[in-house]
Chain A
Amino acid sequence: DGGITQSPKYLFRKEGQNVTLSCEQNLNHDAMYWYRQDPGQGLRLIYYSQIVNDFQKGDIAEGYSVSREKKESFPLTVTSAQKNPTAFYLCATTVQNTGELFFGEGSRLTVL
């Protein structure tokens, strides 16, 4: 099946630990995005990448890091520097230069 796979779906971590969220796509889309969603705040852009080996900070990049070594993969690391990491994380892809995003099912991170 073509699509976007995010894993894990649910993740619990202790304060002070780094965690990496996986996002894999087989849609052959160039651009990939990471959004964070908190209740009542909509989607906020963390990082995005339009081509392999290149990525840009979004509106709330502090405390996060990404890599784009392959077209299919765009993992997000939530570091211990992120003060409020508990949230719903959404990965999305799109054909270049359009706003029609395709989303993965999301990863729910809870920091205990």
Chain B
Amino acid sequence: RKEVEQDPGPFNVPEGATVAFNCTYSNSASQSFFWYRQDCRKEPKLLMSVYSSGNEDGRFTAQLNRASQYISLLIRDSKLSDSATYLCATFFGNEKLTFGTGTRLTIIP
């Protein structure tokens, strides 16, 4: 089983809709969790950190479910500019970050 798993998509969503996707992790001792956004052929950039039960930043909400070992990302009122690949990552052992393969999201006008 992969340490971090994501549905690769693509998710094609109409503008203004709400979209959510999950990321599961295998190591129950993972301490912190992150969502990164990556535009096509660019470097990833941190979108949100999730240290406890969840985090909200404007239209974006990230939640952590430790019992079921997954984190989720919810995007409300989606914009065309939200089109990107969303990578989740977990932090193991205070040393290294492990990434999922990413979920590709396309917002359709």
Contact = CB atoms under 8 A, between A and B. Distances in A.
B105 to A, nearest CB: 15
Contacts of B34: 99-100
B22 interface: no
Given A99-B32, A100-B49, A42 B43 contact: no
Given A48-B95, A58-B96, A103 B45 contact: yes
Contact of B89 (A40, A99, A106): A99
Interface string A36-80: 000011111100101000001010000000000000000000000
Interface residues on B, range: 20 to 34
B97 A99 contact: yes
B94 A41 contact: no
A40 B8 contact: yes
Contacts of A50: 95
A50 B95 CA distance: 8
A42 B42 contact: no
Contacts of A48: 95-96
Contacts of A105: 42-43
A39 to B, nearest CB: 10
A101 B100 CA distance: 15
B60 interface: no
Interface in B31-79: 32-34, 36, 41-46, 49
A101 B96 contact: no
A90 B45 CA distance: 12
B59 to A, nearest CB: 21
Interface in A67-112: 88, 90, 97-106
7 contacts: A42-B87, A42-B102, A45-B96, A90-B44, A97-B94, A102-B46, A106-B42
Given A42-B101, A45-B96, A101-B36, 10 more contacts: A35-B99, A44-B99, A48-B96, A50-B95, A88-B41, A90-B44, A99-B89, A100-B46, A101-B97, A105-B43
